[in-house]
Amino acid sequence: MLRQIIAYVTALITWLVVTSLLNRLLRIGLPGYAAAEPAKVFTLSTQSLRLALGSVAAVSAGYVLARLAPNARRLPLMLGSLMMALFLSIHYNLWDKFPIWYHGVFLLSIIPLVLLGARIGTGHAGATGD
């Protein structure tokens, strides 16, 4: 049980670190991104990059979780569900800042992406017949 708790917390920290690092890279490498970020005035391409960033972070969190607790089958679903619940309130408050498709893609992809990361982490991503 302790191993699962440590894995869960580490996966959340992984998500936070990956998101922070990739967001910093966007701020540094993409002209105008840092200025647009406070007001959430993003172009289609920056919205797409933000979704990609979130995808990489969710897959990374699932991967780390599965590597640390490979036998905890329900834990990735619990992690994805927690992340979705946390982001529902955030996206509710940002509803007018982004188009509806953006909210939908982000929120509906969290759980599947965490599960994908966990599947990769346990070595089942390419397996058939599961």
At 10-25, the pLDDT tens digits run: 999 999 999 999 999 9
| Structure confidence at residue 123 as a pLDDT band (50, 70, 90) | confident
Q: Model-level pTM?
A: 0.90
Q: Is the pLDDT of residue 102 over 90?
A: yes
Residue 110 lies in a domain: yes
Residue 130 lies in a domain: no
Residue 59 lies in a domain: yes
- Mean pLDDT across the chain, nearest whole number? 93
d(C-alpha 101, C-alpha 75), whole Å: 28
| Structure confidence at residue 126 as a pLDDT band (50, 70, 90) | low
Per the structure, the complete domain to which residue 67 belongs is given by 2-121
Residue 126 lies in a domain: no
Residue 8 lies in a domain: yes
| Structure confidence at residue 3 as a pLDDT band (50, 70, 90) | very high
Residue 127 lies in a domain: no
d(C-alpha 43, C-alpha 52), whole Å: 14
Residue 61 lies in a domain: yes
Pick the closest to residue 111 from 86, 87, 76 (CA basis).
Answer: 76
The total number of structural domains that make up the chain: 1
Residue 128 lies in a domain: no
Q: Is the pLDDT of residue 76 over 60?
A: yes
Contacts 24+ apart (CB under 8 A), 2-8: 3/68, 3/69, 4/69, 4/72, 4/75, 6/68, 7/64, 7/65, 7/68, 7/69, 7/72, 7/75, 8/65, 8/69, 8/75, 8/78, 8/79
What pLDDT shows up at residue 128? 44
